[in-house]
Amino acid sequence: MKFLGNIKDRVFGLDVLRAFAILLVVYGHGIILVPPGLAPYYKMIYPLIDGVSIFFVLSGYLIGNILLKIIQKSEFNLKDLFNFWIRRWFRTLPNYFFILAILILIALYKHNLFSSGFNWTYLFFLQNFGWIHPGFFSEAWSLCIEEWFYLLFPLSCFFIFKFLKDKKKAILYSALFFIIVPLVLRLFFYFFDIGLTARDANFKNVTIFRLDGLMYGIIGAYIASYRKELWAKYKNICLIIGLAMIVGITIWVRHQETSAYMAIYRYNLDAIATLLILPFLSQIKSIKYKKIAFFFTFISVISYSMYLTNLSIVLFFLISKTTELLGLDKISHFMSLINYFLFWFYTISLSYLIYRFYELPMTGLRDKIKFFKRKTETININNTEPNPS
């Protein structure tokens, strides 16, 4: 299919990781539709590494490669920063505001808009900056984290570079800042029990607590750019360690209820595990099995739309309306089976339509506007840009 672009230009290993991340997220949300008696079996085959953490690291790695090329091949001035941001915003904002508008219409249809939890902060990605994300459009929490990271990290690099006149040091010092500060904040808020209840769950979706997840991806991009020999040489051993960490995380999390590990350290370990498997996956350019390649590539390219639609639109609205219209809302086990099938069908088909007829044209629009064109080398965007989580 043409909308996938030239598969030969894609990095298959990164498509696999992105597809795995979104399938984890959707599979995890699907448990709501599973009958209570089957839920324990459903959970058994679910690896308990956070799918959004995988997205964060992958996004950081992909956008980090782009940002590092801009820093290396330009004067790294304000114009370069604005070009970077505008291209990012053309990639992320159209889908976000499109889905936000749909959910506003649904809220108006169902009840009073503001009783749904919507407020003006959604327009500026402030709804979970330093506090718990509201229930309205609950999956948007990760978009807020990404948008603020891609605003603040380049700014940090820019100001440190202007002071030190050293691009590599600017990146490294910024990296240290974004690794240390969120971790310290989680430690401080957890042990002093400041302002948040049900601490483990709430730490997950607060912007200032989660900025470090994307930073691990930037670190990966830095190593891949400046220490290519290490990136290639140790890919196998890193893969083994990373997979072992994922298994260990899964076993450990199954025995945790509330703990400092779940609130503070899990995000770092999830991110490190993902970072360790990146060297191996980033060097798998293609495979000979075309159907397998198509499946992962297809899920990968629609993953952003899948993330934005699967919960609030599909799970909480479309499924209930469909079963109600079909008169299946009173059939227990059969309803669960139908609902689960509809959940995946609606999520994938709706995401394809949004990607094909809205997301893809909006992304392409930026390349037709002269202001957005850079003097630096053109970067292949087939899958070197992240699908936001």
- Does residue 94 sit within a domain? yes
Q: How far is Cα of residue 331 from the mean position of the Cα atoms in its chain? A: 36
Question: Six-digit token pair at 290?
Answer: 């075309």
Q: Would you place residue 377 in the very low, low, confident or very high pLDDT band (cuts 50, 70, 90)? A: very low
Residues 11-42 pLDDT 10s: 999 999 999 999 999 999 999 888 888 888 88
Q: Tell me the C-alpha distance between 152 and 174, whole Å.
A: 10
Specify the residue for token string 């490294």: 172
- Does residue 263 sit within a domain? yes
- Does residue 380 sit within a domain? no
Are 178 and 215 in contact by the 8 Å Cβ rule? The answer is yes
Highest mean pLDDT, choosing among 199-203, 346-350, 360-364: 346-350
| Segments forming the whole domain that contains residue 122 | 2-372
Better-scored residue on pLDDT, 329 or 56: 56
- Spatial neighbors of 112 by CB under 8 A, at least 6 apart, are none
Q: In the predicted model, what is the mean pLDDT of residues 181-188?
A: 91
- Does residue 209 sit within a domain? yes
- Does residue 389 sit within a domain? no
Count CB atoms within 10 A of the CB of residue 61: 28
Question: pLDDT > 70: what percent of the chain?
Answer: 87
Q: Is the pTM of this model over 0.85?
A: yes
Are 157 and 171 in contact by the 8 Å Cβ rule? The answer is yes
Highest mean pLDDT, choosing among 94-103, 109-118, 261-270: 94-103
The count of structural domains within the chain is 1
Q: If you average pLDDT over every residue of the chain, what do you get?
A: 87
- Does residue 381 sit within a domain? no
Q: Would you place residue 73 in the very low, low, confident or very high pLDDT band (cuts 50, 70, 90)? A: confident
Q: Tell me the C-alpha distance between 308 and 116, whole Å.
A: 18
Residues 211-263 pLDDT 10s: 999 999 999 999 999 999 999 999 999 999 999 999 998 888 777 666 778 78
- Does residue 117 sit within a domain? yes
Q: How far is Cα of residue 37 from the mean position of the Cα atoms in its chain? A: 31
Q: Would you place residue 381 in the very low, low, confident or very high pLDDT band (cuts 50, 70, 90)? A: very low
Question: Six-digit token pair at 286?
Answer: 């293609």
- Does residue 164 sit within a domain? yes
pLDDT of residue 385: 56
Q: How far is Cα of residue 141 from the mean position of the Cα atoms in its chain? A: 10
Are 378 and 56 in contact by the 8 Å Cβ rule? The answer is no
